[in-house]
Amino acid sequence: MTSAPRKSFEVRVPASTANLGAGFDCLGLALELYLKARATVLSKPGARIMARSSGVRGSSKFPSAPEENLIFRAMRHTAEREGFELPPLRLAVQNQIPVAGGLGSSAAATAAGVALAFALGGGESRRDSMFMPGSASTTPDTLLRHAAAIEGHTDNVAASIFGGLVVTLPLWDGTVVAVHKRWPKMIRVIAVTPTLELATKKSRAVLPDSVPLADAVHNLQRSALFVAAIEERRYELLWDAMRDRLHQAHRQRLIPGLAEVLSMPRMPGLLGLALSGAGPSVVALATDRYEEISKAIASRFEQHGLACSVRKLEAAQEGLSVTETRSRR
């Protein structure tokens, strides 16, 4: 007797870098570094629900229990608020994104969980219109709203969902405005990650509750300039557009070597430097001399005894995607 096919959904979510210097909590850029998660529906009654994870350092330590695993928690959050039930399932995760590295690992996991919840329990009509930025469907907006509510801020999750450069604005009713813009292919991202795990909660805790008006204006001007410079291909303006006064200086005491990196002089091929999200990764926007730039950044961390992982990345122009498969076992 042939067994019934087992239904699975696989989601692929890109990493992201947030802030890009002055665009604190409003700018995000998707990167070609991915988290993949496959949810397989279990047909055996009473089957144990659990997750299995592999990938970059720290991935194997992802919690397997549903109540602790972030992807499972995002799935349950979505199902509860949308009013449907999730079937028993097994989760397999393959992760390329550094854990607690400032490249959107938690945002990717959250987006993956919300997307899988809709795929598994949201109904056929919802699945047919999912994940289509710019379409008339409200499903991507709902996806982003749930992911942002779980994550606590919008920049990383919006970039992971839509791809490219995303400008976000959370509104008072919980909805999120997200404007997606394609990223110029000539600009690559060098991500340098020192061997230092830094939880976002800890990194945000060092930020002040209020800032001087001059610093707020400084960042407003530069975040606007950043988007205009990308739009008009005035890439020489990015160096000044990425200068921040709201968060990077406060986080320097948590990340040895960061102050030296951010005070690096301009060099050929280097367009700008910034702390990636809450850190500890640093991102450099570059068009050339990638090896020289990578070594210059890494050496600042190495002087403080921190080894580094260096990744030269393209921007991910496309965001989150979901595919369905059926297998017999």
Tell me how far apart the alpha carbons of residues 268 and 280 are, in angstroms, rounded to a whole number. Answer: 24
Residue type, 151: E
Question: Exposed e or buried b for every residue in 69-94, given b needs 16+ CB within 10 A?
Answer: bbbbbbbebbbeebeeebeebbbebb
All structural domains of the chain, each given as residue ranges with its CATH number in brackets, are 6-182+322-327 (3.30.230.10), 188-313 (3.30.70.890)
Tokens representing 81 are 């608020």
The string of pLDDT tens digits covering residues 83-108 is 888 888 889 999 999 988 999 999 99
Instruction: Let me know how long the chain is.
Output: 329
pLDDT above 90: percentage of residues in the chain = 71
pLDDT band at 133; cut points 50, 70, 90: very low
Say whether pLDDT at 132 is over 90: no
pLDDT value of residue 124: 47
This prediction has a pTM of: 0.90
Q: Which two tokens stand for residue 84?
A: 């449907």
What six digits make up the tokens of 34? Answer: 């991915």
Q: What percent of the chain has pLDDT over 70?
A: 85
Rounded-to-integer distance, Cα 116 and Cα 149, Å: 16
- Per the rule left: phi > 0, alpha: psi between -120 and 50, beta: everything else, 61 is alpha
